[in-house]
Amino acid sequence: MRTVLVTAVAGAVVAFLLGLLTFGVQATVHPHDVPLAVVAPPPIAERVARAGSAEIDVRVVSADEARNLLRDKEVYGVLEVAPGQATIRLNPAVNPSGTQVAQQVLTGIAQGAGLPVKVEATTPTAAERTAPLAASALLWVGGMIAGLLFVVLKGRRLRWLSAVTAAVLVTGSTVGLLAWWGVTFTAQALTFMLAVAVSFALLQAGLFKHLGIRAMGVLGILYLMAPAVAGQVPELLNPVYKAVLWSWTPFRFSTEGLRSLMYDGSISTEWWVFGGIALVGLVLLLAGKEAQADRADGIVDVGVDQADGLPSAERQHPA
């Protein structure tokens, strides 16, 4: 009876926590302080400034400043108002969910001023919008499966080589799959993907070395909860989720970095993040001893064999 109760409670607790860390992110989405920029003559600029709310943060700026903000991904969209015309400018390197919100809000502002709206932007295909997060998840899963099989097959030597080889092959298979979907990458984006794959695989291999198959308890949960937040716009997330999950998840850095590089952007922080992850993985691989494998039947091998002169099972007869 005790076992029945313990297992039932454990299942309920795990389901609650996973729901809280995954579906809860999407269930609590609500915009707040979404940054936008408007370039407009004084009368319209004043009206826009007065129309601000807790959901959006509208900055009235010059045309040059607005384009710099959009290029640096500090705003999700720009509305430029000229006599008889309003133009919305979007950056494809920005989170597509953010640009969608920006386009809706800025269109409403222009229509409120009685102006026709024109949108100037490179519109990513569905595959291009999906590719950054999909690639991040696949690179993680590929390294995780390789590390798990290394444990299951009782590998002992050259674990680091297994991790690096898996990273290269998983990167190749991911690029091939995305190319089949019609997504192409710059050389810098391909290099970044390989760096992400290597850092993921080294970290996972280090955890498997020290925890054995129990590392799946950590790596699996990270996979389940991180993609739910990595693809979200931070200004749409509940502040608690933004601070507790979005702020540190490596999936966020890989997704944003790859999206920028797909459109000939530049990144800096992301290189440092994955360099640090790779370093941690190497330290784990070089430090300490291998985790002791658990026997499937629960019997502990004490190292006694026939060389010790003890009778074997075949020589024993029932009385």
CATH number of 74's domain? 3.40.190
Last residue of a domain, which of 95, 119, 143? 119
Domain assignment present for residue 311? The answer is no
Domain contains 296: no
For residue 279, is it within any domain?
A: yes
Let me know if residue 16 belongs to a domain: no
Q: Does residue 46 share a domain with residue 184?
A: no
Kindly state whether residues 178 and 82 are assigned to the same domain. no
* 248 in the same domain as 110: no
Q: What pLDDT is recorded for position 318? A: 46
Strand-strand pairing, 56-60 and 34-39: parallel
Q: Domain end: 119, 135, 161, which one? A: 119
Q: Are 101 and 31 in contact (CB under 8 A)?
A: yes
Where b means 16+ CB within 10 Å and e means fewer, 139-175 reads bbebbbebbbebbeeeeeeebbebbbebbeebbeebb
Question: What domain count does the chain have?
Answer: 2
58 lies in some domain: yes
Q: Give residue 22's pLDDT.
A: 74
Q: Say if residue 132 is in the same domain as residue 60.
A: no
Same domain, 159 and 259: yes
Whole-angstrom distance, CA of residue 190 vs CA of residue 175 = 8
Say if residue 63 is in the same domain as residue 187.
no
Picking from 209, 218, 217, the residue whose alpha carbon sits closest to that of residue 291 is: 209
Q: Do 214 and 171 share a domain, yes or no?
A: yes
Please tell me whether residues 99 and 147 are part of one structural domain.
no
Say yes or no: 142 and 113 in one domain. Answer: no
Closest CA relative to residue 191, chosen from 167, 163, 221, 222: 167
> 276 and 162 in one domain?
yes
| Inter-residue contact 267 to 261 (CB < 8 Å) | yes
- Give the per-residue pLDDT at 52: 61
Residue 12 inside a domain? The answer is: no
166 and 80 fall within a common domain: no
Q: Is residue 219 in some structural domain?
A: yes
Q: Give dist(CA 178, CA 70) in Å, integer.
A: 27
DSSP codes joined into one string, 115-138: --EEEE-----HHHHHHHHHHHHH
pLDDT at 29: 80
CA-CA distance, 274 to 188, in Å (whole number)? 15
Strands 34-39 and 85-89: unpaired
Pair 137, 236 in one domain: yes
SS3 37: strand
**Residue ranges for the chain with pLDDT beneath 50:** 294-307, 310, 312-319
- pLDDT, position 50: 67
- Domain span holding position 147: 126-286
107 belongs to a structural domain: yes
Of the candidates 90, 119, 148, which is a domain's last residue? 119
